Amino acid sequence: MASSSELKPLPPEEPTPPKPVETRRGPHIWLTPLLDGFLSEHLSKAPPSELLRYRVLIGTTLFSVLFTGLFLLFTPFQPSHVPTMVVGLCYLAVLVLARRATSLALPGLLLSAASTLGWVSSNLINGAPLGGTHASAMLLPAIAVYLAGPRPGFFITAVLCLFAGFIIPLYRIHIGADLGPYTLETFWNAHITAAVSLLGAWLLGTLHSTARDAAHEALERTLKTLRESEGKLLSVVESTDDLICALDTNRHVITANAAIRRAYRVIHGREFQPGQEFFTGTPPEFQARWSPRLDRAFAGQRLRLEDDDWMGDKPVVMDVSVSPIVAEEGRVTGVTLFTRDITERKQAEARLKEMHRTLVDISRQAGMAEVATGVLHNVGNTLNSVNISTGLLKDQLRTSRLSGLLKAARLLREHASDFGAFLTRDPRGQRLPGYLIALSEQLEKERETMSKELDSLSESVDHIKSIVSMQQRHARSAGVVEQLPVPVLIEEALRLHAGSLEREGIHIEREYAEVPPIFVDRHKLLQILINLLSNARHALLESSTPDKRLRIRIRQNAGGERLVIEVSDNGVGIPPEHLTRLFSQGFTTRKSGHGFGLHISALAALEMKGSLTCTSAGPGQGATFTLDLPMEGDTEE
């Protein structure tokens, strides 16, 4: 089953189906193809706003050709028809240019000039006194500006103003034309007013054309920016491997990228058809799963979910985002679906979880092995002291004077019947009391020595028991924190090594400053001290120096909040390249070593909120181990 997490829903609103597009019918059905047929291929592909101007040019030219042709056809030929014929030929030339031109400038200018020529010639030939003021002249500046542009239109307008305001009235007065009911002043006022009106028509046309061109340029820039943005967006959408599509309110696919088309071919074995229904070709269980989700999206909710599906014969996991498309008025007009294949990520997460479980098991096993190694190492160090004490006891028993006591008892038993005579007359009996006194003193010394060794042996056995108990109760919770005088604990550790240190000629130097007792786990600290003393002993034994010295120093740091214990020797020393690895598990330079003592000691120091470090001037220069502990210790249980 797929799981989903929803975002904040939008206010639900009933979706409304899109309005059907009305089919308009009118003259453009036959007129537009007719006008476009006179345009060149380049002009016919112009933007709609420019194409409208081209069609106006063709329409005006066709009307002018038709009007001129009818005029020449139905009026008797006169010499005054020659300018009209020239104007008609110019109109035909405009149609020819429109079939070959790449812009409107030349055909538009020629049409405006031909219209102006026709107007001027008709006013010069016509006998009407105020023909130059006819309202038809107002069309010429507007047409010139619209078709040829403001500057060519101004040239046409200037010609019209010159003829309307000066040349035509002067010509009429010169030939003595009849002014009819008009006075000369009225005649001139009418023509000058016509010239100003023509100039005003050009000005209004120019303002309109400039505003239209500015709006057109702004629109073109906006459209260009939109097209570039759309192209970039489409490039991103098409190049991504995510499946992206959009649905309308009827659940028809209105757009889909290349990734979803490829997936459709893999799943359904056929090409995707734009505009098809979303559930086309999908199994019933897919429709049952997705239909409620789409209903919620069309109600205005955004959905984010993981969907288990099949891609061909391969199971896949999809991360799907479904978002409503909301119009300005808040109405939902469709939905978008963004789908990403996260199968590999899910598989990687599963593998990572499995690896994590495996690492946890391995770590647990490694921890158990380290605990066992630590127990064996620490017990082994203590067993060295046990072996030494046992050996001393065996030597003491082997050289004991107890056999002399047995011989004296045998003599007394042999002379039990004449005990008095034996003590007074027999030389052996006379020496027996003194011998027994000396023997008793010797036996007393042996008892004291053996009692000390038995105490040391008992301490070693207690330490072994505490090591085992500490490891059984797991590290920090193992020991009991108590307030102890550190020198006493150091002397206890020295006693465990006293026999071997004395026999091997190692001189011990003590520098104990006056320090208060500290709160510490006794057995953890004792474990560290025993390891450091054992390490110093081996370093001294491997050294060839005759004066073997082991110095133990106790002090407080400058602030007085920490205790510092230094164990120094003048043994074989440590190379600089080994100092950084000295406390690593398994690292050792001794053939018989196993590399766990210092590692375990460093961990124990950390457990007590302290640190264990080492310094050495190099091979043959000895080494100093420094144990730094807080005075308050670790009081947590």
* pLDDT tens, position by position, 155-196: 888 988 888 888 888 888 888 777 777 788 887 888 888 888
Look at residue 378 in the predicted model and tell me its pLDDT: 65
**Could you read off the pLDDT of 512-535 as tens digits, one per residue?**
999 999 988 887 888 889 889 888
Yes or no: say if 315 and 236 are a contact pair by the CB < 8 Å rule.
no
Quick one: 114 exposed, middle or buried, by C-beta within 10 A (0-12, 13-18, 19+)?
A: buried
What are the start-end ranges of the H helices in 8-80? 28-36, 41-44, 48-74
**Does residue 137 carry a pLDDT above 90?**
no
The amino acid present at 542, given as its one-letter code, is E
| Burial (Cβ within 10 Å: 0-12, 13-18, ≥19) of residue 202 | buried
Residues in CB range of 588: below 8 A, 6 or more apart: 594, 595
What's the CA gap between 310 and 320, in Å, rounded? 14
pLDDT range class, residue 60, cuts 50, 70, 90: confident
Looking at residue 629, its pLDDT comes to 92
Model confidence pLDDT, tens digit, residues 495-512: 777 666 777 888 999 999
The CATH H-level (homologous superfamily) assignment of domain 249-341 is PAS domain (3.30.450.20)
Does residue 487 or residue 356 have the better pLDDT? 487
Mean pLDDT score, 543-570: 91
Task: Sort 509 into a burial class: Cβ within 10 Å, 0-12 / 13-18 / 19+.
Answer: exposed
Of the chain, the percentage scoring pLDDT greater than 70 comes to 84
Structure tokens at 28: 């453009």
- pLDDT tier for residue 361 given thresholds of 50, 70 and 90: low
3-class state of residue 315 by DSSP: strand
pLDDT > 90? residue 446: no
Choice between 267 and 103, residue whose per-residue pLDDT is larger? 103
Q: Sign of dihedral through CA atoms 266, 267, 271, 274?
A: negative
Please tell me the distance from the alpha carbon of residue 7 to that of residue 601, in angstroms, as a whole number. Answer: 55
Specify the higher pLDDT residue, 93 or 123: 93
Task: Note whether 113 and 160 are within 8 A (CB).
Answer: no
CATH topology of domain 478-630: Heat Shock Protein 90 (3.30.565)
Q: Which residues, including other chains, have CB under 8 Å from residue 106's CB and lie 6 or more apart?
A: 97
pLDDT averaged over the chain?
79
Identify the pLDDT of residue 374. 59
Say what the pLDDT of residue 569 is. Answer: 94
Sketch the domain layout of the chain as residue ranges. 28-222, 249-341, 364-472, 478-630
Residue owning tokens 């291929």? 41
Q: Give the span between the Cα atoms of 84 and 122, in whole angstroms.
A: 8
Q: Hey, do 249-341 and 478-630 end up sharing a CATH topology, with the first three levels equal?
A: no
Instruction: Answer for the pair 483, 514: CB distance below 8 angstroms, yes or no.
Output: no
Q: What is the pLDDT of residue 493?
A: 83
- How far is residue 573's CA from residue 578's CA, in Å, rounded to a whole number? 10
Non-local CB neighbours of 299 within 8 Å, separated by 6+ positions: 9, 12, 13, 324, 332
Give the mean model confidence (pLDDT) for residues 531-542: 88
Whole-angstrom Cα distance, residue 597 to residue 604? Answer: 11
d(CA 142, CA 127): 26
